[in-house]
Structure 1
Amino acid sequence: MFDAVVCESINRLSRNPSVTFRVEEQLADEGVRLWAMDEPFEESFGSIVLRHVNVGLARGYLHELKVKSRQGIETAAKQGRHAGGKALYRYQFAQLPHPNPHKSEQGLKVKVLERDPATAPVVKMIFHDLVVNGLTITEIEKKLNSDLERYPPPQSPDPKRRTGLWGRSSVWEVLNNPKFTGHQVWNRRQRKRGGRLNPPEKWVWSDAPAHESLVSREMFDRANVTAIKRDNVTKAAEGHDEYPKHNYVLRSFLHCGICGLRMHGNVRRGRDGAYYKCELNRRQASLVPEDHPRTVYLREDGAGEKVVEFLSTHAFGPERVDALRDALATTAPGPTRLKPRSSVCAAR
């Protein structure tokens, strides 16, 4: 046990006041003092006021840092400079001298997007098929997957998410990315709330084209209007507006027992309760077995009962050790390496 925790300055603990005061309170409950080297160690009226002033200064510094950082990125985007992240689909990075003469003399360079002449026509074809030929996103997806050598799919930065195929979301991402117009665009997605798209009026466009365009601004606007209009028509036909919003508590946890892919929530017309389903038309044909039904439904309340049953026996039940041993013995490939019950209980 120790008497005090010492930090160089209170802002080194946290720049968030709620975190700082919560840690200080938790330490005080254990009889431990929180000291900062630039504050008096003895608690008094003056030291308490000084602590709150320093915490406020730390919070203000964090806010100022965020504002200035965003202002810098916004200015760079308006100037057409790359704001970070991977290269746009069908583009590659090229190095150019820094626009600042002093930094250019130091050998610093900036990244700009340069089109890939071998595969850039893929983007043009996607926009043309949607706007001119009238194909749906699903039809475009099937066309792209029919010849992957000619139409290579985008690769996710996360290797676990790479399927080597086109999906509806990847086609939509191409259609909804304004950078294909040649302009640099920033602030398309929110920093919070799962990276949702911001309204177009909040996007920051470069003052002039920053790289070679693959589609015109008119084609991009027409593609977005067409895609959104078709999506709204589909939702209206399916009666989506009549469905009440539902919080799916097992979202992202359930996978289809036939194909192993993740199931998604659904409220069925004329049925009570919510469901999780796996639809064949939303899957890549090469990823599902031939005997996969067109749609697999699973009631949410039934799945929830099974989860509660599992937790009651395997996690919190009095015979959880035996239940876990039996489950592992039936699912483990090959001989199991389970300790005897006495040693398992002794290790708990």
Structure 2
Amino acid sequence: MSTPVSHAADYAPIVVEHDDGWAQPRVEILDTKRRPVRAWLYRVVSELAWPVAEQERHRTETEAIRGYQQELAHRSRQRRHAHALDRWWAGPPPYGYRTRTHRVSDEDGFTRRLRRLVPDTRRAHLVPLIFAWFLDGHGPSAIAARLATDPDQYPPPHVDGRSRSWTPRVARGVLTNPAYLGFVVHDRTADGRLLPPRNWIWSREHAHAALVDPETFWTAYARLHPHHLQRPGHEGAGGAS
């Protein structure tokens, strides 16, 4: 009578030890148990089909969230555009101005806190001086260095309750900001690129007191941006060149 053959070895786990010299030795159990075709099919479906479904669900949810965010950004852009046309200011005030808050109710009865620019008595008189220095041949770097010599006589910019240093970038920002013409200007940039003045959105009327005249501003602007040869066809902004 023949002795029955045991297949226990076919089901015994194989112990593999890893020791690369850096981590503690670890043990992996490689199960070599023979499985029917149905089990292998189930494994293929679970490892391939389910992740694909998860990826599709994640892609659908991501597209929905992205579409919602784009819609919110579009509405916000439209609201800022309408506020600019109506002479309301958004964002930190330019050097030489401060903001004054107004409570405004719309047609639906919602009350919003909107802001307009008013001259800053400590700093407004320095804006035309900066333009005069530039037109006399001093660049933004020289202007910033001169302003930084005496903070009492030339108060530095004040943003979000904090004082900022005079830098060439700040001085250049003063020289290229059309808000000093007395208008609220929107859409000066697109995708991080400065647009020519003819593409800017201007408020319908003067929004606040101007600190420089159009000829002074556009002369300085043309020196800093000679490739922007055409002024906007806006009556208060100096007319078309």
Q: Is the TM value for this pair above 0.5?
A: yes
> C-alpha separation between the residues in 2 aligned to 1:150 and 1:73?
35
Q: Is the 8 A contact 1:114 1:211 kept in 2?
A: yes
Cα–Cα, structure 1 residues 93 and 55, in superposed 2: closer, same or farther, change >3 Å?
Answer: closer
Q: Larger relative CO (CA 8 A, sep 6+): 1 or 2?
A: 2
TM-score (norm 1): 0.44
- Once the two structures are superposed, what CA deviation does each residue of 1:143-169 show, in whole Å capped at 9, x if it has no partner? 21222111112245597xx7x531111
> C-alpha separation between the residues in 1 aligned to 2:156 and 2:189?
22
Cα–Cα, structure 1 residues 201 and 29, in superposed 2: closer, same or farther, change >3 Å?
Answer: farther
Match of 2:106 in 1: 100
Q: Is the 8 A contact 1:185 1:204 kept in 2?
A: yes
For 1:114, the aligned partner's letter is V
Q: Going by fraction, where is helix more abundant, 1 or 2?
A: 1
Match of 1:209 in 2: 206
SS at match of 1:223: helix
> C-alpha separation between the residues in 2 aligned to 1:123 and 1:97?
29
Match of 2:96 in 1: 90
SS at match of 1:98: strand
Q: CA RMSD in A?
A: 3.6
| Unaligned 5+ runs, structure 1 | 1-26, 36-47, 230-348
> C-alpha separation between the residues in 1 aligned to 2:58 and 2:177?
47
Match of 1:154 in 2: 157
| Unaligned 5+ runs, structure 2 | 1-45, 227-241
Match of 2:231 in 1: none
Q: Is the 8 A contact 1:148 1:165 kept in 2?
A: no
Matched, 1:75 2:82: yes
Q: Is the 8 A contact 2:92 2:159 kept in 1?
A: no
SS at match of 1:80: coil
Match of 2:25 in 1: none
Q: Is the 8 A contact 2:119 2:209 kept in 1?
A: yes
Identity value in percent: 27
- Once the two structures are superposed, what CA deviation does each residue of 1:5-38 show, in whole Å capped at 9, x if it has no partner? xxxxxxxxxxxxxxxxxxxxxx976956649xxx
> C-alpha separation between the residues in 2 aligned to 1:71 and 1:183?
18
Matched, 1:127 2:124: no
Q: Going by fraction, where is strand more abundant, 1 or 2?
A: 2
- Once the two structures are superposed, what CA deviation does each residue of 1:262-306 show, in whole Å capped at 9, x if it has no partner? xxxxxxxxxxxxxxxxxxxxxxxxxxxxxxxxxxxxxxxxxxxxx
> C-alpha separation between the residues in 2 aligned to 1:165 and 1:61?
39
Matched, 1:145 2:142: no
Match of 2:120 in 1: 116
TM-score (norm 2): 0.61
Cα–Cα, structure 1 residues 124 and 52, in superposed 2: closer, same or farther, change >3 Å?
Answer: closer
Match of 1:343 in 2: none
